Amino acid sequence: MAQAKQITPRAKDFSEWYGDVIAQAQLADYSPVRGCMVIRPHGYRIWELMQRALDDMFRATGHRNAYFPLFIPMSFLAKEAEHVEGFAKEVALVTHTRLRATGKEGAGAIAVDPSSALEEPLVVRPTSETIIYAMFAKWIQSYRDLPLLLNQWANVVRWELRTRLFLRTTEFLWQEGHTAHVDEADAEREAKTILAIYRRFAEEWMAMPVITGVKTDSEKFAGALRTYAIEALMQDNKALQAGTSHNLGQNFAKAFGVQYQTAAGGLEYVWNTSWGVSTRLIGGLIMTHSDDNGLVAPPKLAPVQVAIVPIWKSDDERRQVSGVGDQVKTDLEKTGLRVELDVRDSLKPGAKYFEWEALGVPVRLEIGPRDLASGQAVLARRTGGKTPTPLQGIVAAVTAALDEIQAALFAAARERSEKNSIRGATKAQFIEFMKGSGGFAYGGFCGDPSCEAEIKQQTNATIRVLPDPEFRSKEAPRTCMWCGAPSVAEAVWAQAY
Ligand SMILES: [Zn+2]
């Protein structure tokens, strides 16, 4: 690791802090291509662990993975009116297929071969509804072919001018689920099943509490009937949309002619859903747990869960402590834990601690000659606290510590999220709240898009979701928090990423 640069404290500049944590933990870097990021091995490992957990849940609910092309004929995007409007301003296009040598030197040595222009330009997928439903039209004939439950792990491109690593990049990695159903009820059930999976993943794996609910029409996915989302509050009190699940109705089925023969012999359009989470989740993980010393990774998703740092002065001691460290590593790995033994001669123990801390490793075991003499190691938690721990039974102690850390991170994040939520605020209090610390504001909403737009324009806060029943206030609000008209639903506002 390069010489450590001080991490900007969160209180000083949250955005600088975020960048410093990513740099220190070597999660990602800016690339020579503007707007695109390079995900480095430590960051990519987190993504792989996320993928595995989510993929298991998708598979357990009957979904199968497939892969569709990166390129989509431009005309496909035009088939669903709302959809094209939503994505038209951020697509990358392939218009030519060849370069030619110009005979010049340097940067001008090659140029686009004008004779290679494509008859129909290809869009680099911003999302794959169109190409997938074009295929569904071929594959679905009868009610017996339904439901069709597919998922794809892929990259997508949405042209961005501003870059924020993991949160907003032109190219990002994600999964997109696409399903077809016989009727609205089945599609709705699917959209909700996925929302529940996303919530479970956020809470049980990422230790990131979320609010679930439905988006308003102005915030829903372009082309969807209804969009459900999970929303989490980051440490700077901005909301992060962490996953969305859409009931697409029959919009795409009609645009792409996806019809099936019913049991009674009639012909019907299918109902579709689509849903996705992306590498943005890594940004959410960072901003939920990390501190001024760097990354804090929840144990279940930590690329390295335990770092063992032997301490020695003489060669004899080095042999001894390393030998025991190696044995402990083997024992821990037998239970499926991800462990590193740090026997580098080039670094002092203190420097090693600093490094493993910045990498977010939840548990560090320090083993020195004196520890060995008393048959113990020192168990240090990334979240604070050092405990002498007998080597006899160290596997159980480490496992218990990891479980406790996972649970404590979730509890702390939930407490922070609740502490930074207000309910039943007046308009004046709401304005004050959004100008000040910010957070989740629960209140009545009249349902009028122009009221929603005015709130956004004046406070920069948007409705994150109309929350599901378990998140709603005990007493339903009677009037709109902003305009005073009768409330049609409780809403949760926040400034968002
Ligand atoms: Zn209103």
pLDDT digits (tens, 9 = 90+) for 218-232: 999 888 899 999 999
- Rounded distance from Cα 443 to ligand 1 centre (Å): 10
446 Cα to the center of ligand 1, angstroms: 4
How far does the centroid of ligand 1 lie from the alpha carbon of residue 89, in Å? Answer: 30
Evaluate if residue 88 carries a pLDDT over 70: yes
- Supply the pLDDT for residue 4: 54
- Position 3 scores a pLDDT of 46
| Cβ 166 vs Cβ 280: under 8 Å | yes
Mean pLDDT rounded to a whole number for the chain: 95
Question: pLDDT band at residue 16, thresholds of 50, 70 and 90?
Answer: very high
Residue 173 has pLDDT above 50, yes or no: yes
Taking the centre of ligand 1 as the mean of its atom positions, its distance from the CA of residue 108, in whole angstroms, is: 58
CA of 54 to the centre of ligand 1 (A): 38
Determine the average pLDDT of the residues in 44-65: 98
Q: How remote is the CA of residue 370 from the centroid of ligand 1, in Å? A: 68
Taking the alpha carbons at both ends of the chain, their separation in whole angstroms is 30
**Predicted pLDDT at 2:** 43
CA of 332 to the centre of ligand 1 (A): 57
CA of 486 to the centre of ligand 1 (A): 8
Distance of CA 455 to the CA centre of its chain: 27
Q: How far is the CA of 455 from the centre of ligand 1 (A)?
A: 9
| pLDDT above 90: residue 161 | no
- Note the pLDDT of residue 223: 82
Ligand 1 center–CA 431 separation, angstroms: 14
- What share of the chain in percent tops pLDDT 90? 93
Given this model, what pLDDT does residue 5 score?
Answer: 66
Q: How far apart are the CA of 229 and the centre of ligand 1, in A?
A: 22
Give pLDDT tens digits for 193-251: 999 999 999 999 999 999 999 999 999 988 889 999 999 999 999 999 999 999 999 99
Cα 452 to ligand 1 centroid, rounded to whole Å: 7
Residues by chain with Cβ below 5 Å of ion ligand 1: 446, 451, 480, 482-483
Over residues 349-402, the pLDDT tens digits come to 999 999 999 999 999 999 999 999 999 999 999 999 999 999 999 999 999 999
pLDDT tens for 427-473 read 999 999 999 999 999 999 999 999 999 999 999 999 999 999 999 99
Residue among 443, 430, 426, 446 at smallest CA distance from 486: 446
pTM recorded for the entire structure: 0.95
Tell me if 286 sits within 8 A of 164, measured CB to CB: no
Which tens digit of pLDDT belongs to each residue from 260-290? 999 999 999 999 999 999 999 999 999 999 9
Ligand 1 centroid – CA 454 distance (Å): 9
Letter for the amino acid at 407? Answer: A
CA of 288 to the centre of ligand 1 (A): 31
Report CA(453)–ligand 1 centroid distance (Å).
10
Distance (angstroms) between ligand 1 centre and the Cα of 216 equals 13
Give distance in angstroms: CA of 480 to centre of ligand 1: 5
Q: What percent of the chain has a predicted confidence (pLDDT) above 70? A: 99
Q: Bridge-partner residues for 389, per DSSP? A: 377
- The rounded Å distance from CA 491 to ligand 1 centre is 11
Distance 430 CA to ligand 1 centre (A): 13
Residue 447 CA to ligand 1 center (angstroms) comes to: 7
Print the SS3 string covering 99-160.
Answer: EEECCCCHHHHEEECHHHEEEEEEEECCCCHHHHHHHHHHHCCEHHHCCEEEEEEEEEECCC
Q: For 241-259, what is the HEC assignment? A: EEEEEEEEECHHHHHHCCE
Q: What letters, b where the CB count within 10 A reaches 16 and e where it falls short, cover 369-397?
A: bebbeeebbbbbbbbeeeeebebeebbeb
**Cα gap 270→179, rounded to integer Å:** 9
- Distance between CA 62 and CA 189 in Å, rounded? 13
The rounded Å distance from CA 228 to ligand 1 centre is: 22
